[in-house]
């Protein structure tokens, strides 16, 4: 093996492996708008980030959060940032055999050479992939075994809102929005390097912990009660806070990223350019962690969005623009926005899409603007619960009549297929609530046939298992077991198939209850679950988010092994199907998401009474705690501005062609 200096390209070692693996293009890099900087671009104080999305390239490349941070960091002088993804098992085996370490796709540098390995977790099922990357990178799995010269491993993303499950493996976690947070970390690392790295790695971690906005598990001690519950999690160093605050970016117009979106070389899961039109959601759906932890709502202005769309299309040549948010039709100027964009791109190949549409926010005007340029993709709505009663429990304020009115308008306007998304295993749910899904789907088909006068009307029912998540009113709830979930879904499938008139027009897609149990273990786990993750990984667990790689049996066997060595009476059921009491100290109580625990508990009690709560965007404040505690506020329009000029693409198709072939 030739001697290598830090920052050297590993490509000469990697190249011979590429013809032996599936989809070699995912390891090559060189995408449009990617960045390669000089290793010493900032002299001795250069701060070097490797950003990892712990899944396959095709899933990781279009991830908006990673793309934004990549660009925010690379725009700075003296900072370089490169990307790395999980390698497929065939590549992992070859890399181990040939001694090739985990590498970045941008300049094929060894991940172990960087100062920071930032890992963005959208889901808990990426944890085993992190361990593969650490091991391939020559970085000790356990934070406590790392020494000066190893990268700091920092977790972020929605799944980092309970950092305790992966406390053994990460040096730190950043909670909330990353844009300002990564720059804060960069400034600290840079200053520490300029000072000659005093106190080594430990001093740097202390400085990070003392900001109050970075959680460093190594500086906290967990004590347990005899029955296995946590007694408390306490800081062990002076100046380290009891609770770590969430980062919230205000004024999204000041952060118009990505300006130069990456265009993947290989096919990816989203072939479009995306613009985040607002962040946060206050609809208050009680099952929805994303909505709870991203409060308050912050809208991008209509003009800011227009500018991002224009620049992004010019920089990428994509022909579809996704208007992203947790509930895009809730933007206060969505009608003006979609009309303005449809006007601007009329006569071009540019299509618009809203990835998520609420039943009660959808109307045909909106739909027509979205399809004006000739594209008519499927429509997806998420009633979430099959019965009116269960929708009150989860605070999804959509009536059956709302849904029927909406699909009626859609089928009447020429749509042929509507997709409906539901959950199974919601708190207080009975078989009857789930069987209502079949009745609802039949009504949808019947309505579609009536208004369109056609027989080829389809409705696809897609069902996911409910997993209670931290920082939601359902964080105390016992999860439905895998067997009970499967039994309930079996009854629903039979009910749909048994109907001669409608059954063949209803597609039925569902996940069995097993992955949900593993997700539940990881999302509400504490430090002791780290031993389970490690055991699964050592026994070959990889890519747990992919059904063809996921093994429930492996997870259960590994959990049994790991918990057997534990002095407390805990097992998988203890973490998943057990109901918690109000007084229990929860592993994520060290994280301050802004939400008052008392408010969440009250909302849980309200759900049991089937009490609905309005959206605080349009009503007085409900005192969830976020705005005053975090010094933030709701930022919404209307701004009253319009999208101008409309002559941007005055040359019509010819003007667009220049962009497309750029």
pLDDT of 485 > 90? The answer is yes
Per-residue model confidence as pLDDT tens digits over 330-344 = 899 998 998 899 888
Name which of 265-269, 356-360, 430-434 the model is least confident about.
356-360
Q: Which residues contact 575 (CB under 8 A, 6 or more apart)?
A: 520, 521, 524, 525, 529
Q: Which residues contact 629 (CB under 8 A, 6 or more apart)?
A: 592, 594, 596
Q: What phi, psi does 348 have (nearest 5°)? A: -105, 180
CB hemisphere CA count around 621 (13 angstroms): 12
d(CA 385, CA 394): 8
pLDDT at res. 652: 40
pLDDT at res. 544: 95
Give the burial string for 346-357 (b: 16+ CB within 10 Å, else e): eebebbbbbebb
Q: CB-based burial of residue 3 (10 Å sphere; 0-12 exposed, 13-18 middle, 19+ buried)?
A: exposed
Per-residue model confidence as pLDDT tens digits over 599-626 = 999 999 999 999 999 988 888 888 999 9
pLDDT at res. 230: 98
Cα angle for residues 196, 201, 204 (degrees, 5° grid): 75
Mean pLDDT, the chain, integer: 92
Residue 306 token pair: 């227009």
pLDDT higher for 117 or 363? 117
Beta-carbon count within 10 A of 508 CB: 18
Question: What proportion of the chain, given as a percentage, has pLDDT over 70?
Answer: 95
Please measure the distance between the N-terminal and C-terminal CA atoms of the chain and give it in whole angstroms.
42
pLDDT band at 149 (very low <50, low <70, confident <90, very high): very high
pLDDT at res. 410: 86
C-alpha pair distances (Å), 352 with each of 154, 174, 382, 608: 35, 33, 20, 40
pLDDT at res. 356: 64
d(CA 306, CA 115): 37
d(CA 311, CA 305): 10
Q: What is the CA radius of gyration of the chain?
A: 25
Per-residue model confidence as pLDDT tens digits over 424-482 = 999 999 999 999 999 999 999 999 999 999 999 999 999 999 999 999 999 999 999 99
Q: State the average pLDDT over residues 126-144.
A: 98
Name which of 182-186, 353-357, 373-377 the model is least confident about.
373-377
* pTM of the complete model: 0.94
CA 269 vs. chain centroid, Å, equals 14
CA-nearest of 420, 445, 422, 418 to 499 is: 445
Residue 461's beta-bridge partner residues?
420, 508
Per-residue model confidence as pLDDT tens digits over 367-397 = 777 777 666 667 888 899 999 999 999 999 8
pLDDT of 328 > 50? The answer is yes
pLDDT of 252 > 90? The answer is yes
pLDDT at res. 654: 36
pLDDT band at 586 (very low <50, low <70, confident <90, very high): very high
């Amino acid at each position: 093996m030739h001697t290598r200096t830090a920052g050297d390209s590993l490509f000469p070692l990697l190249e011979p492996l590429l013809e032996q693996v599936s989809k070699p293009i995912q390891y090559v890099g060189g995408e449009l708008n990617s960045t390669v900087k000089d290793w010493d671009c900032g002299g001795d104080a250069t701060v070097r980030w490797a950003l990892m999305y712990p899944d396959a390239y095709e899933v990781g490349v279009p991830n908006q959060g990673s793309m934004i941070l990549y660009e925010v960091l690379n725009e700075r002088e003296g900072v370089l940032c490169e990307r790395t993804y999980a390698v497929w098992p065939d590549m992992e085996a070859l890399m181990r055999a040939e001694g090739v370490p985990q590498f970045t796709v941008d300049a094929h540098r060894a991940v172990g050479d960087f100062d920071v390995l930032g890992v963005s977790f959208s889901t808990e099922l990426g944890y085993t992939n992190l361990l593969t990357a650490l091991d391939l990178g020559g970085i000790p799995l356990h934070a406590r075994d790392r020494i000066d010269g190893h990268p700091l491993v920092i977790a972020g993303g929605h799944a980092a809102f309970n950092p305790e499950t992966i406390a053994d493996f990460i040096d730190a976690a950043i909670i909330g929005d990353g844009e300002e947070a990564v720059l804060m970390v960069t400034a600290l690392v840079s200053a520490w390097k300029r000072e000659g790295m005093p106190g080594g790695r430990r001093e740097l971690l202390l400085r990070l912990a003392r900001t109050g906005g970075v959680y460093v598990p190594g500086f906290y001690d967990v004590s347990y009660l005899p029955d296995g519950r946590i007694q408390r999690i306490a800081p062990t160093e002076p100046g380290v806070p009891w609770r770590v605050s969430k980062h919230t970016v205000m004024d999204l117009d000041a952060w118009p990223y990505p300006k130069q979106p990456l265009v993947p070389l290989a096919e990816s899961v989203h072939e479009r350019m995306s613009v985040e039109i607002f962040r946060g959601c206050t609809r208050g759906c009680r099952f929805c962690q994303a909505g709870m932890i991203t409060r308050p709502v912050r809208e991008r202005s209509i003009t800011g969005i227009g500018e991002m769309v224009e620049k992004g299309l010019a920089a990428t040549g994509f022909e579809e623009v996704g208007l992203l948010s947790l509930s895009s039709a809730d933007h206060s100027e969505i009608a003006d926005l979609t009309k303005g964009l449809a006007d601007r791109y009329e006569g071009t190949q540019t299509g618009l899409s809203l990835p998520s549409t609420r039943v009660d926010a959808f109307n045909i005007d909106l739909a027509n603007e979205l399809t004006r340029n000739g594209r008519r993709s499927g429509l997806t709505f998420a009633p979430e619960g099959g019965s009116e009663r269960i929708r009150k429990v989860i605070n999804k304020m959509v009536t059956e009549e709302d849904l029927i009115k909406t699909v009626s308008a859609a089928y009447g306007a020429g749509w042929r297929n509507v997709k409906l998304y539901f959950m199974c295993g919601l708190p207080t749910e009975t078989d009857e609530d789930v069987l209502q899904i079949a009745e609802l789907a039949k009504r949808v088909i019947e309505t579609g046939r009536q208004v369109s006068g056609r027989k080829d009307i389809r409705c696809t029912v897609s069902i996911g298992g409910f997993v209670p998540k931290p920082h939601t009113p359902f964080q105390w709830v016992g999860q439905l077991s895998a067997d009970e979930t499967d039994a309930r879904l079996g009854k629903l499938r039979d009910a749909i198939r048994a109907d001669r008139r409608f059954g063949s027009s209803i597609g039925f897609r569902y996940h069995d209850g097993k992955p949900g149990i593993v997700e539940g273990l990881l999302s509400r786990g504490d430090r002791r679950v780290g031993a389970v993750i490690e055991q699964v990984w050592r026994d070959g667990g990889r890519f747990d988010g992919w059904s063809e790689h996921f093994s429930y049996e492996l997870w259960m066997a590994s959990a049994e092994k790991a918990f057997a060595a534990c002095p407390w009476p805990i097992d998988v059921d203890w973490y998943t199907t057990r109901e918690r009491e109000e007084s229990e100290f929860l592993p994520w109580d060290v994280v301050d998401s802004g939400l008052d625990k008392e408010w969440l508990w009250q909302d849980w009690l309200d759900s049991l009474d089937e009490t609905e709560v309005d959206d605080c965007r349009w009503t007085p404040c409900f005192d969830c705690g976020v705005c005053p505690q975090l010094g933030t506020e709701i930022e919404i329009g209307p701004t009253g501005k319009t999208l101008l000029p409309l002559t941007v693409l005055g040359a019509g198709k010819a003007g667009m062609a220049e962009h497309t072939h750029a």
